Amino acid sequence: MHKLNLLIVLLLLSSGTFAQKKKVVPAKPFTKPALAAPKTFDDSLSYAIGISVGTFYKNMGAKNINAVFLGDAVNTVFQNKPAQITEQDINAIFSKAEGMFAEEKNKQQIKSLDSIIAVKFPQAKVVKNASGLRYEVLRAGTGRKPALTDTVVCHYAGTLADGKEFDNSYKRGEPVSFPVNGVIKGWTEALQLMPVGSKWRLFIPAQLGYGERGAGGGEIPPGAALIFDVELISIK
């Protein structure tokens, strides 16, 4: 065989063109071995503490917890070692975190409220306040606006976002009197903007309503957005 042809055949054989192809088995991805189930009471207690702490801070809004630092901090406490940060540092960190969690939750609640308005009240001319309060002027009044320390007389009807009514002064047959600074934040803010004689529809996110505690023995669930038709009758 010509030397050149022989060289080509050898190259082809080495590249696998003529050679029998070998089956390539892909490497299995590395998986961390599963932690053994707790066997002793101390193991179970340790796991339970982790689940409890993790659940609490996840619900608060924490997302990127470093398990290595978390475990090291727990060991630091139980082994009576000196901490890498002071108690003052810890308080400052928690204070900052709480503010961040609250801000993020407020953003999500306002975003959810805007979605509710877009779906259920697509034709409404809604005014959006920076606080998260939204309102629509159903009837413009001409009287004076209440001050924070005033007491007002109102008629109102309140519903949840799904339309379920939880309170209605019209059905009771008489308006309600209360101080402007003695109601939920959304009402306090709105009333100071309403001239007497006005009727507004208020869209109130949870942080300006009853927050995460809810109200009314379960009628208003935690984190609920509220919708009120409010009529400002007079200022006492």
133 within domain boundaries: yes
41 within domain boundaries: no
- Containing domain of residue 183, as a range? 75-236
65 within domain boundaries: no
CATH number, domain at 112?
A: 3.10.50.40
142 within domain boundaries: yes
52 within domain boundaries: no
Give 82-93 as a DSSP string. PPSS-HHHHHHH
145 within domain boundaries: yes
Which CA distances in Å does 6 have to 12, 20, 21, 84, 210? 10, 19, 21, 72, 87
Burial code (b: 16+ CB inside 10 Å, e: under 16) for 100-139 equals ebeeebbeebbeebbebbeeeeeebeeeeeeebbbbbbee
- The domain total for the chain is 1
Per-residue pLDDT of the chain (236 residues; tens, 9 = 90+): 444 343 333 333 344 444 444 455 555 554 555 667 888 999 999 899 999 999 998 888 888 888 889 889 989 999 999 999 999 999 999 999 999 988 888 899 999 999 999 999 999 999 999 999 999 999 999 999 999 999 999 999 999 999 999 999 999 999 999 999 999 999 999 999 999 999 999 999 999 999 988 998 889 999 999 999 999 999 98
16 within domain boundaries: no
